[in-house]
Structure formats: structure tokens, C-alpha cells
């Protein structure tokens, strides 16, 4: 079998959590491959609302195994909070969740370093989620990290070494840190984490595929936040593109099957960095209010703008997307006109490519399409779509070159239209 991948094509918060939950019944295993508690994946069903940060979004369906892969960075304290809440709501988490021993661990000092580096950057700050993501991946790459497997074997030594180094770095940044209380909570959380099944997930996932099991890989963030191809330096610290599923789970490229690319019918971004189609007017505020565009983790206001087809074509290319999933179409229900950016003018020259410096003199060139002026939220099948909405879908498909096979018309699990052209495993 091949593993399918679902990932965000914009700057995150596309609705990955919702769709992973919807697709989970088609799979045996759901596996997160990168990111950490910077993610906030929202699921709504049966009147309930959950936000998942490190735990895969397949956790609420029945019978699937969920895996936290080696590419993820895990904060034991936030993991414990999230896991205990799920256990309280009746999820038998310890029976269905497995964690890679090779996942890197976020230490209390990583969070302090995240804050210190942001402060040093001043106005040029990235606007991180403050969860210690960058410093933890930095330690991984500089070969100084602590892995989940170390918690079982040489925790004291590994932790003491990292802490010493971090405290020296914090001192150099002018931050004297008293971490006693945070450290105590972290150590307690480590004991909790050790109750879970800690595995060599690369063997587990590959052996499962070999045995005919169906695997869905869940991405976090979005391709425009990718460390290599995103709007650097305003990005996260992992490979959010499809290749991240290979390194973050130990999958060979030939093992990748369908790639579901997910995007909003418009576009949002949290934190600093370029955003060519950003709206600073009434329309932007309207999208924010109707779409409830506030961060699932940080509560921060999300910046809103029109859909950017130049950027989407780029991320579709980088990921080898085979099926597109359009989210939050209903948020545009009241618009007279819907705009889509199909080209940029960079220093006065028309281009269809994302320039090296997305933050330079980049002006969006918009195409205008008629709005559908219909409430989509109660629609249950694609033959009920109003004509103007069908035209919008066809326009996007023709400009993006990949079929839109799933359309979301509301936050609930049920508000999902699987189109006839969908190819689900």
C-alpha cells in the first residue's frame, strides 16, 4: 500500500484537522509528520469542539491507530494537558496512540529561548507561537537535541546537558531564568508521557503498509510556512511540504500515494511576513468576522485576504498535489464579487511565479468573479451548489490544474461535500 498525505497549501489553519477527521474512516492509521504544539487543529462534531495540537486528528473516529512521528517536536507539558482532556472526554488514548522514540522533545528552556530570540529580533520578529518550536528544531539539526527515546534511558544526563547550554544562551541574551517550577511540571509530564507506547514508528508505519493497512499522513502548518520554500525567514522550522512526510515518518518517496492539498476559498496568515493579497479594508474585517479568523492556539487575529492562485500553483507543484480540498467557501456567501489573484506584478513586471523575495515590491493582479449570494452551509450534495459557485470551482480548477474533490461549507464534520470526482482510498 501507499500512504496518502494531507497538508495545508497556504499559511496554515486551512482546516486540516476537520478534514483528517472526515477522512479517517477510510484509513487504519493516522500519522502526524512534523510541527508540534504550534499547530491548532479544530474538530467539530455532534455539538462538540476540540482543538488538537500534537495529537493526530484521527483520534475521535473508531478503531484507528494514531502515530506521532519522528518529525514532530513534542512538549510533554502541553501533551499531558491535551491528552488528559481527551481521556476525560472518553478517548482511550493510551490504547490508540503511539509515539516515535525519535521525536524531539521541547524543554522548558526551549520556550524561553523562543521568547528571547523574538525579543532580540525587535520589529523584525517572526511572531512565533512561542512554543519553543524553532529552538527545538535548531537543537535537532545541531545534534544537541533530546529525543523521546532518551526519556527512557538517559534522561538526567541528556536534560542536564541541554539545560546548561540553554541557560548560558539565555544569559547571553540578557535573560536570567528561574525555571524551577516549569522544570518540575515538565518532569511530571515526562513521567506521564512514558505511560504511552513509545515505538520505532518508521518500522511500524512501513510494516503496516506492507501488511495492507491504509495510512493517512497529517501535516501541520502550511506550505508557505515551509522552512525551505515558505516566505523565509517568516516561516516555521520544519518541512511542511510533502517531502516532510517522508523524513518525518521514514517513508520512501515511492511510498506516497494521494496528496490532498487543502486551502481556504480565501487566504489567511498569523504572525509577521509577506502576504501579497492581504486586505486592510472592510472586506478583510468581514472575512475575519464571518470566518472567525482568530488563532486556535494563541487567539491572535488572523490577517485575511483574497485567494492567491500564484502561491497555490507553487505549493501544488512542490507537493505533487493530486486532489484539492476547498474550505470555508461559506464565509464568502454574502460577497457580491469574489476576487482571485492570478498573477503578480513584481517591480512592474507581470509574472506567474512566486519571486525569491515575496516581501518585495509584489502587487497582486486580481480576476473578479461574481459572488454566489447563497447560504452554502445547509447544502448536502454538489448538485445543490448554485451556478455561480460551480463557476468559481471550475475557474479555480482551470487555473490550478488539479480537481477540487472535497468542498467544506461549515466547521462541522457533516458540512462536507465529497464530490463525484473524489478518489478516496
Active site residues: 13, 41
Contact 340, 371 (CB under 8 A): no
Q: Which residues contact 125 (CB under 8 A, 6 or more apart)?
A: 118, 119, 272
Binding to ligand IMO by residue 220, rule CB under 6 A? yes
CA pair distance 40, 51, nearest whole angstrom: 6
Binding to ligand GDP by residue 42, rule CB under 6 A? yes
CB of 203 to ligand GDP, least distance (A): 28
Quick one: what does residue 69 bind among ligand IMO, Mg ion, ligand GDP, none, with the CB cut-off 5 to 8 Å set by partner type?
none
Binding to ligand GDP by residue 18, rule CB under 6 A? yes
Q: How many residues does the chain have?
A: 425
List, as one string, the DSSP characters of 85-104: HHHHTT--HHHHEEEETTSE
Q: Which range in 83-91, 97-105, 108-116, 327-335 contacts ligand GDP by CB under 6 A?
A: 327-335
Please name every residue paired with 363 in a beta bridge, in sequence order, or none if there are none.
Answer: 345
What is the pattern of x (binds ligand IMO, CB under 6 A) and - over residues 230-269?
Answer: ------xx--------------------------------
Over the range 196-207, which residues count as b (16 or more CB within 10 Å of their CB) and which as e?
Answer: bebbbbbebbbe
CB atoms within 10 A of CB 64: 22
Q: Cβ closer to ligand IMO: 215 or 225?
A: 225
CB of 127 to ligand IMO, least distance (A): 5
Residue in 7, 20, 23, 39 binding ligand IMO, rule: CB under 6 A: 39
Residue in 310, 396, 408, 413 binding ligand GDP, rule: CB under 6 A: 408
CB of 52 to ligand IMO, least distance (A): 9
Torsions phi, psi for 304 (to 5 deg): -125, 150
- Alpha-carbon separation of residue 58 from 61, 257, 268 (angstroms): 6, 19, 25
Contact 301, 58 (CB under 8 A): no
List, as one string, the DSSP characters of 134-186: HHHHHHHHTT---BHHHHHH-HHHHHHHHHHHHHHHHHHTT-----HHHHHHH
- Total residues in contact with ligand GDP, by rule CB under 6 A: 24
Quick one: what does residue 327 bind among ligand IMO, Mg ion, ligand GDP, none, with the CB cut-off 5 to 8 Å set by partner type?
ligand GDP
Q: Which residue is nearest to ligand GDP (CB)?
A: 42
CB of 290 to ligand IMO, least distance (A): 19
Binding to ligand GDP by residue 333, rule CB under 6 A? no
Contact 159, 49 (CB under 8 A): no
Binding to ligand GDP by residue 340, rule CB under 6 A? no
Residue 294 three-state SS: strand
Q: What residues between 258 and 297 interact with ligand GDP by CB under 6 A?
A: 291-292, 296
- Alpha-carbon separation of residue 207 from 2, 62, 204, 219, 308 (angstroms): 12, 21, 5, 21, 39
CB of 278 to ligand IMO, least distance (A): 14
Binding to ligand GDP by residue 16, rule CB under 6 A? yes
CA pair distance 338, 283, nearest whole angstrom: 10
Nearest CA to 325 out of 219, 221, 397 is that of: 397
Binding to ligand IMO by residue 225, rule CB under 6 A? yes
Quick one: what does residue 225 bind among ligand IMO, ligand GDP, Mg ion, none, with the CB cut-off 5 to 8 Å set by partner type?
ligand IMO
Nearest CA to 354 out of 237, 220, 266, 226 is that of: 226
Binding to ligand IMO by residue 13, rule CB under 6 A? yes
CA pair distance 338, 242, nearest whole angstrom: 30
Binding to ligand GDP by residue 332, rule CB under 6 A? no
Binding to ligand GDP by residue 413, rule CB under 6 A? no
Binding to Mg ion by residue 296, rule CB under 5 A? yes
Contact 345, 363 (CB under 8 A): yes
Residue in 35, 36, 40, 244 binding ligand GDP, rule: CB under 6 A: 40
- Alpha-carbon separation of residue 70 from 74, 103, 203 (angstroms): 10, 4, 11
Binding to ligand IMO by residue 136, rule CB under 6 A? no
Residue in 15, 40, 244, 305 binding Mg ion, rule: CB under 5 A: 40
Q: Which residue ranges make up the site for ligand IMO (CB under 6 A)?
A: 8, 11-13, 35, 38-41, 126-129, 131, 133-134, 220-222, 225, 236-237, 270-271
Q: Which residue ranges make up the site for Mg ion (CB under 5 A)?
A: 13, 40, 296
Q: Which residue ranges make up the site for ligand GDP (CB under 6 A)?
A: 8, 12-18, 39-42, 44, 291-292, 296, 327-328, 330-331, 408-411
Amino acid at each position: 500500500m501507499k500512504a496518502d498525505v494531507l497538508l495545508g497549501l497556504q499559511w496554515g489553519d486551512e482546516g486540516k484537522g476537520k478534514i483528517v477527521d472526515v477522512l479517517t474512516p477510510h484509513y487504519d492509521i493516522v500519522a502526524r509528520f512534523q510541527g508540534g504544539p504550534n499547530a491548532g487543529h479544530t474538530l467539530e462534531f455532534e455539538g462538540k469542539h476540540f482543538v488538537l495540537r500534537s495529537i493526530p486528528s484521527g483520534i475521535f473516529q473508531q478503531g484507528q491507530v494514531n502515530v506521532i512521528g519522528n518529525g514532530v517536536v513534542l512538549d510533554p507539558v502541553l501533551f499531558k494537558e491535551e491528552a488528559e482532556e481527551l481521556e476525560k472526554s472518553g478517548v482511550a488514548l493510551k490504547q490508540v496512540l503511539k509515539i516515535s522514540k525519535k521525536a524531539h522533545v521541547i524543554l522548558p528552556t526551549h520556550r524561553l529561548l523562543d521568547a528571547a530570540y523574538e525579543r532580540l529580533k525587535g520589529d523584525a520578529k517572526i511572531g512565533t507561537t512561542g512554543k519553543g518550536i524553532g529552538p527545538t528544531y535548531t537543537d535537532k539539526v545541531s545534534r544537541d537535541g533530546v529525543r523521546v527515546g532518551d526519556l527512557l534511558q538517559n534522561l538526567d544526563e541528556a536534560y542536564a546537558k541541554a539545560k546548561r547550554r540553554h541557560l548560558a544562551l539565555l544569559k547571553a541574551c540578557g535573560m536570567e531564568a528561574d525555571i524551577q517550577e516549569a522544570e518540575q511540571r515538565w518532569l511530571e509530564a515526562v513521567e506521564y508521557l512514558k505511560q504511552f507506547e513509545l515505538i520505532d514508528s518508521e518500522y511500524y508505519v512501513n510494516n503496516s503498509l506492507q501488511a495492507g493497512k491504509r495510512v493517512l499522513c497529517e501535516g501541520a502548518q502550511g506550505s508557505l510556512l515551509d522552512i525551505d520554500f515558505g516566505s523565509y525567514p517568516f516561516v516555521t522550522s520544519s518541512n511542511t511540504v510533502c517531502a516532510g512526510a517522508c523524513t518525518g515518518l521514514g517513508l520512501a518517496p515511492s511510498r506516497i500515494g494521494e496528496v490532498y492539498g487543502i486551502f481556504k476559498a480565501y487566504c489567511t496568515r498569523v504572525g509577521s511576513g509577506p502576504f501579497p493579497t492581504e486586505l486592510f479594508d472592510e472586506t478583510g474585517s468581514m472575512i475575519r468576522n464571518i470566518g472567525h479568523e482568530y488563532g486556535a492556539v494563541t487567539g491572535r487575529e488572523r490577517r485575511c485576504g483574497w485567494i492567491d492562485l500564484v502561491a497555490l500553483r507553487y505549493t501544488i507543484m512542490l507537493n505533487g498535489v493530486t486532489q484539492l480540498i476547498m474550505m470555508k467557501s461559506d464565509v464568502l456567501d454574502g460577497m457580491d464579487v469574489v476576487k482571485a489573484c492570478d498573477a503578480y506584478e513584481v517591480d512592474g513586471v507581470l509574472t506567474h511565479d512566486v519571486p525569491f523575495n515575496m516581501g518585495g515590491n509584489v502587487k497582486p493582479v486580481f480576476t473578479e468573479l461574481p459572488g454566489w449570494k447563497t447560504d452554502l452551509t445547509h447544502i448536502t450534495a454538489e448538485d445543490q451548489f448554485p451556478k455561480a459557485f460551480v463557476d468559481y470551482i471550475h475557474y479555480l480548477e482551470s487555473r490550478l490544474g488539479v480537481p477540487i474533490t472535497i468542498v467544506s461549507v461549515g466547521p462541522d464534520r457533516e458540512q462536507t461535500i465529497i464530490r463525484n470526482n473524489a478518489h478516496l482510498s
